[in-house]
Amino acid sequence: MVNNSDKARILKEEFLEISRERPVDCLQCGKCSASCQAAKEMDFMPHQLVRMFHKNQIDQVMETDAIWACASCFTCGARCPRDIDLARMMETARVLYLRSNHKNLIDENEIAALNKKGLPPQAIVAGYRKFAK
Amino acid sequence: MSKIGVFICWCGSNISETVDIEKTKAALEGLPALDYIEDYQYLCSEIGQKKIADAIKNKNLSGVVVASCSPRMHEDTFRNAAEDAGLNPYLLEIANIREHCSWVHSNKEKATEKSVALIRAAINKVKHNQPLTPGSIPVNKRALVIGGGIAGIQSAIDIAEAGYQVDIVERTPSIGGKMAQIDKTFPTLDCSACILTPKMVEASRHENIKLHTYSEVARVDGYVGNFDVEIKKKPRSIDEDKCTGCGICLEKCPGKAPSEFEEGLNERNAIYTPFPQAVPNIPTIDRDNCIKFEKDKCGLCARVCPTDAINFNQEENIIEEKYGIIITATGYQLTDPDQFGEYHYNNPDVITGMEFERIINAAGPTGGKLQRPSNSEKPDRVVFVQCVGSRDKARGHSHCSKICCMYTAKQAMLIREKYPETEVYVFYIDIRTAGKGFEEFQRRAQEDYGVNYVKGMVGKVFPGKDKLRVEAIDAMTGEFLELDSDLVILSPAAIPDQKAGDVSRQLGISQGASGFFTEAHPKLKPVETQTAGIFLAGACQGPKDIPETVAQASGAAAKAIGILSKDSLVNNPCVAEVNQADCSSCFSCKEVCPYSAIEKDETEKHGMVARVNEALCQGCGACTVTCRSSTINLKGFSNKEILSEVDAICL
């Protein structure tokens, strides 16, 4: 079933905003899964994850092992007949997971101080990206 | 003094429900130009038409406005009625108060106001309308068919049977096209060549059909009824009148090249006929691979020819001919699977569906035995891959190639029929078998022939030491599959012939997505193009199977005969007209004209100025808005007429 709860829809919106990919384009041909070198290690296959994204089941995707088995090799996106970059979706699921499960690594108020301390801005941005919420 | 009558139609209640007819009439009645006003429930009915005709006669009207549905619907009906009553049909205007008013509004008061405005505009326009008379153009009673596949052959035979001369121009040395290469047809499993060759022979023997094989269209000028065409006859290096088709030259020739007809699976000689039933049965010398042309040695064919028909000095020949109509039947080709690196098409055991047709054909390179091209062994496992470049907007084409699901089912069954011990897998995205008897046919492959259909795509074909390892998934179960297979058969996307772009430019017809020729209307004009007198037949318009191709070819022929049977054609009088005295000779109009209807005219009085070829002009009006000196007018839609309409609404 398509998950139409408010929570699921908010998560879907967030997912679409971060990934900039459209699960609705998917034909479910399975090319991504057949091309995936990590598919054998996954509890859900890549094309099944796209289907779950499409059905607003982002919270379920976030709980899979599959998103962590993804090696970000981008073969799926390179061969997708619908021009969907599945690796971006996978990364989005990981980002959403990290954001929802962890406290901020960096306190917003500390940024100015860290900056002064000479911490490279890239490091601050990277830390902030993962644990923003 | 113009006397104008207005007729308001209720269209049952389609109009009258939203537009207050009485109020509309009342609002119009005071207009000075208005002489007569009437309303009726169905003006398009015979009674309604009679009301208009009677009013024209009795009230001596000089212009009529019919407030009703879209002019696309009934303009012709009302104009014919006016003409019968003695009024020039172009003095009747439609005010569209249905599609433009009642259907799109719900507020009755405002809709009524709008319908009054629309009718006033039409009244203002009709005051300025000029009577127009269609001109006539003569028709050359000869047809040109470009492409000699089954589509071109069928069109040509149909036109020839109706008694008109037809020329077929075919690029390759023989007519027959793709259908000649195919082994069996679905869903009846007829022998393709057996049903095609009688038609090829009929085309070559027909007294009204002339074949130009090994020829191409070099130039097309003119317009419906009067196309001027140059046909380039490439040098065959054989004197066609002397050759008897004995074939002795073919046996002796030492030059070799991959056979196009056999999809490169074996070699042909440099002097060759593409296949034994080729029409005409006259060999061709492939100069690129002939030793005589390469090194000026050999010449064996000339020495053995009993009729002295070999002519190494033959030159390209340009034939000029006039035609009334042109049928485009340039067909399709398969996309090159090389661009999908993951399938390793460069491996000899990875082939296309068309290569398989040749392998399984009794007259083919293996004599009909299913063999791996690499080692001539019988395969134990065959994997079919669907949608190679079809439904693939990223690397291929977004369209569905339509024929692959069915020919794959056929090929899979042919394998299982001849070699029951060979395992067959078909990997697909969706199975599409819309067509008479098609679904039943495809189910037989699964139910009766034990073909393994797996929903899922192949990710990779990896050539191993001996076998090809196919990595794929079963999308239904989520299972990752690795199959060692002996032969992989791809279904590449069907795309327009490589020369379709050239033909499109020569003829001035447009190509849509994926390059297929665009029909004039997807529902109601499926064989016409936007250019009058040019018709489409077969897979050049979109992927088609044989029966659809034949049906469309006959449809195109019927349309062609409709034109050829006339001595002259009536052209639409609503064409552009240049006031040459005011033309600034910028020729912006010539550039925007989609029909190449504007010509440079060298006049004594005004120098080089624009002129409209009325036979080519379709009345789109692009030139009138481009013209910097506003000197081009579209008859029936002149600037004066349009502006007076605007005045009626705005002032």
> What does the alpha-carbon distance between residue A90 and residue B265 come to, in Å, rounded to a whole number?
44
> Which pLDDT tens digit goes with each residue over A74-117?
999 999 999 999 999 999 998 888 778 665 566 778 888 888 88
Tell if the CB–CB gap between B342 and A82 is shorter than 8 Å. Answer: no
Q: pLDDT-derived band of residue A131, with 50, 70 and 90 as boundaries?
A: very low
d(CA A78, CA A90): 15
Averages of pLDDT over runs of 10 residues in chain B (651 residues) are 91 95 93 91 95 95 95 92 95 96 96 96 94 91 98 98 98 97 95 96 97 96 92 95 93 93 96 95 95 92 94 95 97 96 96 97 95 96 97 95 97 96 97 95 97 96 95 94 97 97 94 94 91 95 96 98 94 91 94 90 93 88 93 94 92 77
Beta-bridged to residue B175, according to DSSP, are B279
Count other C-beta atoms under 10 Å from residue B334's C-beta.
21
Exposed, middle or buried, B542 (CB in 10 Å: 0-12/13-18/19+)?
Answer: buried
Residues 6+ apart with CB under 8 A from A93: A15, A49, A53, A58, A61, A62, A67
Determine, for residues B460 and A35 on separate chains, whether the beta-carbon distance falls below 8 Å: yes
User: Contacts of residue B430 in chain A, CB cutoff 8 Å?
Assistant: 27
Q: Is the pTM of this model over 0.90?
A: no
CB contact under 8 A, A34 and B394: no
pLDDT confidence bin for A132, thresholds 50/70/90: very low
- Dihedral sign for Cα A51, B409, B433, B549, please: positive
Q: How many residues does chain A have?
A: 133
Q: Is A52 left (phi over 0), alpha (psi -120 to 50) or beta?
A: alpha
Tokens (6 digits) for B55: 């009013």
Nearest CA in chain A to B475: A30
Of A29, A33, A48, the CB nearest to B429: A29
Rounded to whole angstroms, how far apart are CA atoms A41 and B480?
10
In order, the DSSP letters of B481-496 are: EEEEESEEEEEEPEEE
Closest CA to A86 of A128, A39, A131: A39
Gap between the Cα atoms of B103 and B388, Å rounded:
46
Subunit contact A28:B459, Cβ cutoff 8 A: no
Task: Give the span between the Cα atoms of A129 and A109, in whole angstroms.
Answer: 16
d(CA B423, CA A6): 50
**Min Cα–Cα distance to chain A from B452, Å:** 17
Backbone angles phi, psi at B495, to 5 degrees: -125, 165
For chains A and B, CB pairs below 8 A equal: 67
- Rounded distance between C-alpha atoms, residue B642 and residue B647, angstroms: 9
Verify whether the Cβ–Cβ distance A33 to B342 is below 8 Å: no
Q: What is the DSSP string of B208-234?
A: TEEEETTEEEEEEEEETTEEEEEEEE-
Mutate to test the interface with A, among B457, B471, B481, B491 (most CBs of A within 10 A): B457
Residue B101 has what DSSP assignment?
I
* C-alpha–C-alpha distance, residues B281 and B259, integer Å: 17
Say what the ipTM of the complex is: 0.80
Supply the pLDDT for residue B336: 96
At B419 the pLDDT is 96
- Cβ–Cβ under 8 Å, residues B99 and B112: no
What phi and psi values does residue B254 have, to the nearest 5 degrees?
-90, -10
Residue A61 has, within 13 A of its CA and on its CB side, a CA count of 30
CA B626 to chain centre: 30
Residues counted in chain B? 651
Q: What is the pLDDT of residue A100?
A: 80
Contacts of A83 in chain B (CB under 8 A): 393-394
Closest chain B residue by Cα to residue A46: B478
Which helix (H) or strand (E) segment holds residue B423: the answer is strand B423-428
State yes or no: cis peptide before B522, omega within 30 of 0. Answer: no
Cβ contact (<8 Å) for A29 and B457? yes
Smallest CA-to-CA distance from B91 within B72, B73, B64, B60 is with: B64
Count of C-beta atoms within a 10 Å radius of residue B498: 11
CB-side exposure of B545: number of CA atoms within 13 Å?
18
State phi, psi for B233 to the nearest 5 degrees.
Answer: -90, 110
Cβ(B94)–Cβ(B68) below 8 Å: yes
pLDDT band at A71 (very low <50, low <70, confident <90, very high): confident
Count Cβ atoms within 10 A of the Cβ of residue A22 and give its class: 0-12 exposed, 13-18 middle, 19 or more buried.
Answer: middle
3-state secondary structure of A18: helix
Query: Which SS3 state, helix, strand or coil, does residue B122 take?
Result: helix
Q: Is A79 close to B459, i.e. CB distance below 8 A?
A: yes
Distance CA B608, CA B66 (A): 43
Min Cα distance A45 → chain B (Å) is: 6
Q: Where are the beta strands (DSSP E) in B543-606?
A: 568-570, 576-578, 598-603
Residue in the structure block whose two tokens are 């009536």 = B570
What is d(CA B73, CA B71) in angstroms, rounded to the nearest whole number?
A: 5
